[in-house]
Amino acid sequence: MSSLREGPTTVVRREDYAPPAYWIDTVELTFDLDPAKTRVLNRMTLRRNAAVAAQPLRLDGEELNLARVLVNGAGCSFKMDAGQLVLDNLPEGNEPFTLEIFTTCAPEKNSQLMGLYVSQGTFFTQCEAEGFRRITYFLDRPDVMASYTVTLRADKARYPVLLSNGNLEEEGPLPDGRHFAKWVDPHRKPSYLFALVAGNLVAREQRIVSRSGKEHLLQVFVRRGDMDKTEHAMQSLIASVAWDEARFGLPLDLERFMIVATSDFNMGAMENKGLNIFNTKYVLANSATATDTDFANIESVVGHEYFHNWTGNRVTCRDWFQLSLKEGLTVFRDQEFSMDLCAEPSARAVKRIEDVRVLRTAQFPEDAGPMAHPVRPDSYVEINNFYTVTVYEKGAEVVRMMQTLVGREGFARGMKLYFERHDGQAVTCDDFAQAIADANPDSALARQLEVFKRWYSQAGTPRVRAEGRYDAEARRYTLTLSQHCAPTPGQAVKQPFLIPVALGLLDAQGRELPLPESQRLVVLADASATVVFDDIDSEPVPSLLRGFSAPVVLEYADSDAQLLTLLAHDSDPFNRWEAGQRLALRRALAAVRADGPVAQPLDAAFIDAMRAVLRHDTLDAAFKELTLTLPSETYISEQLEVVDPQRVHAVREAMREQLAQALHADWAWAYEQHRDNGAYRPDPLSAGRRALAGMALTMLCLDARQSGDAVWPGKAYQRFKDAGNMTDRFNALSALVVSGHALAREALPRFHAMFRDEALVLDKWFALQAGAPDRGGNILPAVRQLMAHPDFQLRNPNRARSVIFSYCNANPGAFHRADAAGYVFWSDRVLEIDRFNPQVAARLARALDRWKKLAEPYRSAAREAIARVAAQAELSNDVREVVTRALS
Ligand code: ARG
Ligand code: ZN
């Protein structure tokens, strides 16, 4: 079996978009499901698209065995061309005709997990973006929408549950122990939203009545032993349905809405109409097996896929360049959902900080590297490579800026207009922005829509420089903002972006100065702008880009004193956190740039400020935990021209150890204050307490490593043994592993033995070890050992990620080795995985995106490793695109 697509790689360009030559109105699919050989009968009605010139019908197909083709019931001539099935003797005129195609495929051999595949004896599909063509020949593009009727036939004992999109019309027995189910989807849809599931599953069920009084059946399907881990997903789904109705007036449009979990999945989850398919990681949770982070992720991914029902399914993408139309908007919606579910405003801010942290540690580097692309890309070789943090997270920021510019009500109006105009259509990012602007004709967005839309067309992270001047005599403060964006591949010169800068001014005591509303949001639309604030009695401390109002890098030469004021007093929690990050970053960069061995990078003022945060009597625990977490190695590295990853690692570790030691008594206090033993609830407030207690425990164990103290590691081990939930248990284990204490060697096997049958927990066990701080090069050998463990499975994406990605993508201090062994390991794994799962391999291939920034000897060694991958003759388009761009 070879999954490698050979032959010339073709570049697909946005400007080449042409409407389809044919429409497909109806599709009747009949499946005879068999893991070795599944037969698919695809009976379609088609008609010519009268709006375009007559041309042959070209249907996409991949790894299919074609048995027969009938047009209007009779045999016909056809040919194969570049994998496509081409029919050119079709009936004249614009009358509908029927086309029947019989094919077979081999689901059990489908290791790419695209199209129809088998996972643990159950059939699943994944069709986005171009997987449907691996099931049958089709116009596999999102602007072709059809009505689907699907009949599934399979052995009843092995596959008692047969699911597809829409409503179950009919089911019953067949000869030879087989049975069938017939599903009809009442909504037209593009092929990427098709799904089927067949297997031995059980469902948690819940009937709900929506606002309009309609009844709906919600179901969460899992393997038999996992039923006790479905409640949270169901509650999240119920909350999602209610939220979309309440916030956007968008109801559930189906009688039945199903979620099915699979342990073999390339991504997070998929919004197939009425039949969402999820990675188990984003469904299964109970307090014994899942952490607070897992609970929060499940809520947000369940929400995300549910919200796609409107933003993605009812209104879909014209072509894949418009992916952010649905993904950016839906990420924005899931972020808002999670925030709206927070009872306290402070928890909203915590969510915002977490989202921004993802953007800045993952998307900013992408935007500055070889894979940089606009939110709406202009070209691709493999569309799967463009399911990126840029399309998703930066795309969400673009939507958020629209909301900032037109206000919350204005944005809701815009959404309403968007659905009035485009329900049932396949549209573009321009259509979306136009609807929001048209619903708010007096807004800055509408006035400068063309400038705003550069966020869709230009890649790169703009840098905004701010300069303040205070004139005491005139009691006037003048703020000058200017912007600049560095070139990205294929875009040498950038036009100015439209940048909403939310701001406030504080006096030296940290009191907020009253400003008129118009001055609290400055819209920068040109290369630079000057804002004048009058009646200012003393030099103010500016609080700029509040709430991270635009995805930019802010350059402002604030003094330590100003940052300390913001950290202590800013009413904007995001900027309060950001002030702490800037203070820490400044110290990290100074220590990285200094000569000689790494000394103690932190000064008393910084340590005192951190103590004040930790001991603060009104701040939330979650906020404290975020503020006391130092900027990541990746984030620090991004600020440097040339990166010595070992130096960055050493500096950050030194800072952490210094905080551990200097705040010892405070950490001990924090641990005792925040470790509670009450009943487990995954709400943000108690999750924040657990997070802070967990951090305190890690710091205390780190400090014990230096002092030789045995008490705190002992307490951590005790906590590990008798914790009442996975969050506390895992945090205690992690404290031992991260501090490198000998007790970790007892705790790790114990943990494994406790959870040997819980795949998702074992993933954590693997990831913790592969991601642990490197001490004298010990992690790579440990990773090799983990790969030899009987529970390691390279073909299971979650497991492969838990070891290989945790090492290559999330553990820079261990991965970047002076002897290049990390890079050699990386190239071996990329090539090995590419032979059976190009999508996962291409993600891993991204680990060396930023190689050009590395100092020697890392830089040359990294280039050599990438070149080694690129030199491979048999490479998927996915990996080829990534490594070619990296080397260019
Ligand atoms: N649309 C899915 C989501 O909600 C992602 C599916 C991506 N799948 C893929 N093979 N590229 O984000
Ligand atoms: Zn999505």
- Residue 136 CA to residue 150 CA, distance in Å, equals 13
In a domain, 586, yes or no: yes
Give residue 380's pLDDT: 98
Please give the structure tokens belonging to residue 381.
């070789």
Do 487 and 503 lie in one domain? The reply is yes
Do 38 and 177 lie in one domain? The reply is yes
746 catalytic, yes or no? no
Do 381 and 393 lie in one domain? The reply is yes
ipTM given for this complex: 0.98
In a domain, 805, yes or no: no
Give residue 8's pLDDT: 59
The single residue listed with the structure tokens 């970053």 is 585
Res. 520: pLDDT tops 60 = yes
Q: pLDDT tens-digit profile of 778-824?
A: 999 999 999 999 999 999 999 999 999 999 999 999 999 999 999 99
User: Which among 705, 731, 747 is the end of a domain?
Assistant: 747
Give residue 812's pLDDT: 98
User: Which among 456, 491, 509 is the end of a domain?
Assistant: 456
Sequence-separated (6 or more) residues with CB below 8 Å from residue 784: 825
The residue to mutate among 117, 128, 132, having the most atoms of ligand 1 within 8 angstroms of its beta carbon, is 128
What does 536-582 look like in DSSP terms, one character per residue?
--S--EEEESTT--SSSEEEE---HHHHHHHHHH-SSHHHHHHHHHH
- Residue 847 CA to residue 829 CA, distance in Å, equals 12
Q: From the candidates 28, 305, 633, 758, give the one annotated as an active-site residue.
A: 305
Distances (CA, A) of 12 to 15, 55, 391, 873: 9, 20, 17, 22
Do 5 and 151 lie in one domain? The reply is yes
Q: pLDDT tens-digit profile of 821-857?
A: 999 999 999 999 999 999 999 999 999 999 999 999 9
- Residue 620 CA to residue 71 CA, distance in Å, equals 67
Do 380 and 481 lie in one domain? The reply is no
Q: Are 20 and 144 in contact (CB under 8 A)?
A: yes
- Percentage of residues of the chain with pLDDT beyond 90: 98
Please give the structure tokens belonging to residue 75.
């045999």
Q: Which ligand is nearest to the CA of 387?
A: 1
Pairing mode of beta strands 463-471, 202-209: unpaired
Domain range for 667: 558-747
Give residue 9's pLDDT: 77
Average pLDDT score, the chain: 97
| pLDDT range class, residue 1, cuts 50, 70, 90 | very low
CATH number at residue 357: 1.10.390.10
Q: pLDDT tens-digit profile of 543-576?
A: 999 999 999 999 999 999 999 999 999 999 999 9
CATH number at residue 729: 1.25.50.10
Do 517 and 563 lie in one domain? The reply is no
| pLDDT range class, residue 6, cuts 50, 70, 90 | very low
Do 471 and 438 lie in one domain? The reply is no
| pLDDT range class, residue 594, cuts 50, 70, 90 | very high
DSSP state of 201: -
In a domain, 830, yes or no: no
Do 599 and 546 lie in one domain? The reply is no
Give residue 4's pLDDT: 45
Q: Is the CB of 266 under 6 A from ligand 1?
A: yes
Nearest CA to ligand 1 atom 11: 384
Q: Is the CB of 128 under 6 A from ligand 1?
A: yes
In a domain, 213, yes or no: no
Q: pLDDT tens-digit profile of 141-177?
A: 999 999 999 999 999 999 999 999 999 999 999 999 9
- Residue 715 CA to residue 496 CA, distance in Å, equals 56
Do 574 and 715 lie in one domain? The reply is yes
pLDDT (mean) for 616-640: 98
Res. 40: pLDDT tops 90 = yes
| pLDDT range class, residue 676, cuts 50, 70, 90 | confident
**CA 336 to ligand 2 center in whole angstroms:** 14
Q: Is the CB of 69 under 6 A from ligand 1?
A: no
Give residue 783's pLDDT: 99
Q: Is the CB of 271 under 6 A from ligand 1?
A: yes
User: Which of 87-91, 439-443, 453-457, 464-468 is least confident?
Assistant: 87-91
User: Which among 532, 557, 582 is the end of a domain?
Assistant: 557
- Residue 144 CA to residue 154 CA, distance in Å, equals 29
Nearest CA to ligand 1 atom 1: 270
- Residue 606 CA to residue 568 CA, distance in Å, equals 12
**CA 323 to ligand 1 center in whole angstroms:** 10
Tell me which residues have their CB within 5 A of the ion that is ligand 2: 327, 330
Q: pLDDT tens-digit profile of 389-424?
A: 999 999 999 999 999 999 999 999 999 999 999 999
Report how many domains make up the chain: 4
Do 426 and 493 lie in one domain? The reply is no
Q: pLDDT tens-digit profile of 459-511?
A: 999 999 999 999 999 999 999 999 999 999 999 999 999 999 999 999 999 99
Do 552 and 694 lie in one domain? The reply is no
Q: Which ligand is nearest to the CA of 115?
A: 1
Give residue 428's pLDDT: 99
Res. 212: pLDDT tops 90 = no
Do 534 and 614 lie in one domain? The reply is no
Please give the structure tokens belonging to residue 797.
């994406």
Q: Is the CB of 319 under 6 A from ligand 1?
A: no
Res. 2: pLDDT tops 50 = no
